[in-house]
A = this chain, B = another copy of it.
Amino acid sequence: MTDYELLPILGQQPRERSDAARNRDAVLCAAQQLIDRCGVDAVTMDAVADAAGVGKGTVFRRFGNRAGLMARLLDESEAAFQASVISGPPPLGPGAPPRERLLAFGRARLVSNLTNADLLLAASGADTGRSYAAYSFTATHVRYLLGQLDVGGDVPLLATALLAPLEVPILRQQLTIEKMSVERISDGWEDLANRVVGPPAPGR
């Protein structure tokens, strides 16, 4: 027996058992209710297990750790965000010129990150990679737009340079400690993006 039979077969996982599915939904639902009523900090693994009528081990089995659970809770809003980028109305969705799409994307990401700030912080470092998957979409989209804009330079690095100031800890510091307004930060990001992208191509 060689080892590669143990490798995960990506397409065809053995079907989820019915009790497992039920418990998974119960946990997610209980966690969401806890957040709505008492905030993210109240989402203790014990509390959510208890509220879901489930053992603690079950929660960890399904979600790996607290960050993983949080990442799953983010999935819904993240999917909506991705949908409006991929197939929503311009300028966020397709149809607008790349520069406008980029600016709209930055503003949208800023608002989205602020809306889910607590959850995002709690989800950072999820081993499951969920959190990274969400980031990966964002980065890929920005790279795509930068490519369309013929911006030159190291596109992946420029993409992270544009995204880094939108990370929650940095936004938090600007809002809380340095007392900046969201509008100011948003306008500042637009300025940054324009500097990075450079002046509009004249002939086009």
Contacts and interface: CB of A to CB of B under 8 A. Distances in A.
Contacts of A196: 192, 195-196
Contacts of A37: none
Contact of A156 (B154, B178, B189): B178
A41 to B, nearest CB: 14
Interface in A177-194: 177-178, 180, 184-185, 187-189, 191-192
A161 interface: yes
Interface of A: 124, 132, 153-154, 156-158, 160-161, 164-165, 167, 169-170, 173-174, 177-178, 180, 184-185, 187-189, 191-192, 195-196, 198
Indicate how many identical chains form the complex: 2
A164 B158 CA distance: 12
A66 to B, nearest CB: 16
7 cross-chain pairs, A with B, having the tightest CB-CB distances, nearest first: A157-B188, A164-B164, A164-B165, A154-B188, A161-B165, A161-B192, A153-B191
B156 A192 contact: no
Nearest to A191: B153
**Residue among A124, A158, A160 with the highest chain B CB neighbour number at 10 A:** A160
A75 to B, nearest CB: 20
B157 A191 contact: yes
A137 to B, nearest CB: 15
A3 to B, nearest CB: 13
15 contacts: A124-B169, A132-B177, A153-B195, A156-B180, A157-B180, A157-B184, A157-B192, A158-B191, A160-B165, A161-B192, A164-B164, A164-B165, A164-B167, A195-B195, A195-B198
